Amino acid sequence: MPEWGELSAMLLMGLVGTAHCIGMCGPLVAILPSENGAIRVHLAYNLGRITMYTLVGALLGALGGGLQSLGSTGESLAWVARLQLMMSLLAAALLIVLGLARIGLIREPSWMSVASPTMIPGFRQIHTAAINRRRIPMIYAFGVFMGLLPCGLSYAAFSRAVAAQSLFEGAALVGVFGLGTLPGLLLVGTGLAPFMNRTRTLSNALSGLLMIGMSLSLILDLLLTTI
C-alpha cells in the first residue's frame, strides 16, 4: 500500500497539470459529442483513459513486486537487488528529466512520440466509431486508447510506478494521478477552459517541481535502504 504522502503527491501532480491536459488533449476531447448527455460522454472517455493509466501502473508495479519476491526467496539475490536498484534509479532519472522539461529548462525527449496510440491496431476504427456512432462503449474504448497518448505527465506517473513494490501499489499511484487529471478535462468545452489555458505556464512549473520532488524522495529512500 503506497503511503498517503505519495498518493497525495500523485493526485496533486494530476490536478496542477490541468492546464497542460487541456492544452494537449483539449482539441481531441472537444470533438466528442457534446449535445444531450455530454457529461456521460466525457465521463466515459475519462474513465477509459484512467482505466488504461491504472492498468499500465499495475503492470509496472507487478514487475517491481515480482523482482522483490525473487530477492526475498534468496534466488540470485545479488542480481535481483541490483536490478531493483537500477529500475528505481531509472525511474528517478526519468522523473528529473520530465520535470525539467515541464519547467522548460530542457526539451522534452523526442522518444516520447514513439508511444502513439495511433500505432495500435484498431485505433482509427475506434476513433471513427466514437465520433460518428456516439455510443458510450465506443467513447470509453476511445478513452482507453488515449490513455497511451505520449504525455510528460502520464509518463512521469508511469516512471514512479516502475519503483512500486506491488501490482496494487503501482495501480493505486497511477490511478490516483489519473483522478487528479479528471477535473481539468471535464472543463473542456466550458467557459473555464480558456482561463485554464492561460495558467499553463504556472501549471507546468508546479507539475515539474512535483516530478523533481518525487524523484528526490525516491533517491532518498534508496539511499536509506542501501546504507
Q: H/E/C letters for each residue in 139-171? A: HHHHHHHHCCCCCHHHHHHHHHHHCCCCHHHHH
pTM: 0.80
pLDDT tens track for 194-224:
555 566 777 788 888 888 988 888 888 777 7
Spatial contact of 2 and 179, defined as CB atoms under 8 Å apart: no
pLDDT tens track for 115-156:
566 777 787 888 788 877 678 888 899 899 888 887 878 888
Spatial contact of 191 and 182, defined as CB atoms under 8 Å apart: no
Residue among 31, 56, 8 at smallest CA distance from 188: 31
